């Protein structure tokens, strides 16, 4: 099975060359399901937080993108209440089989730690970020303390 071989190779690559600030734990009996976590960096409103998410690989991976769902609540313009993250490379029309899961994880890490009000999943949070950044930052830090520490 192509998908399983590719997933095993990607897991091996990630364990040999881990991404700082990201943990990956594939389920032993189901390599299509990864439990991951991203740490907030010191220069982000999410610093000291650990945000858990599930990376679910489709049976026809790498021809279809993984599905990513955050299980840790996060106050972020690019991640909605259901835990879905707005990342272009994860959309079907932008996904390419050559994209590695290391790249996906790095993009998720970048998105989490560098929130942007552009192309938001949560328009109200994005609007607050544009109009009252101090309140946005305080709320993001508060949510991080409450849910991610």
* Model pLDDT, residue 1: 64
* Model pLDDT, residue 119: 79
| pLDDT per residue as tens digits for the range 44-72 | 999 999 999 999 999 999 999 999 999 99
Ranges of the chain whose pLDDT falls below 70: 1
Q: Which domains does the chain have, with CATH numbers?
A: 2-148 (3.10.110.10)
Distances (CA, A) of 142 to 52, 92, 119, 145: 17, 34, 24, 5
CA distance 46 to 137: 9
Peptide bond into 94 cis (omega under 30): no
* Model pLDDT, residue 91: 87
* Model pLDDT, residue 114: 95
* Residues with active-site annotation: 86
């Amino acid at each position: 099975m192509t998908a399983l071989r590719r997933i095993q190779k990607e897991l091996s690559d990630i364990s040999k060359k881990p991404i700082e600030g990201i943990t990956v734990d594939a389920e032993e009996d189901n390599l299509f399901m990864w439990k991951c976590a991203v740490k907030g960096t010191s220069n982000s409103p999410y610093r000291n937080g650990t945000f858990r998410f599930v990376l679910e690989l489709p049976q026809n991976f790498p021809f279809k993108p993984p599905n990513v769902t955050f299980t840790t609540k996060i106050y972020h313009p690019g991640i909605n209440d259901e835990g879905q993250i707005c990342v272009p490379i994860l959309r079907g029309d932008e996904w390419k089989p050559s994209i590695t899961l290391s790249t996906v994880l790095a993009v998720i890490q970048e998105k989490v730690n560098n929130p942007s009000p552009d192309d938001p999943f949560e328009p109200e949070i994005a609007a607050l970020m544009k109009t009252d950044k101090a309140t946005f930052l305080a709320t993001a830090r508060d949510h991080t303390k409450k849910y991610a520490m």
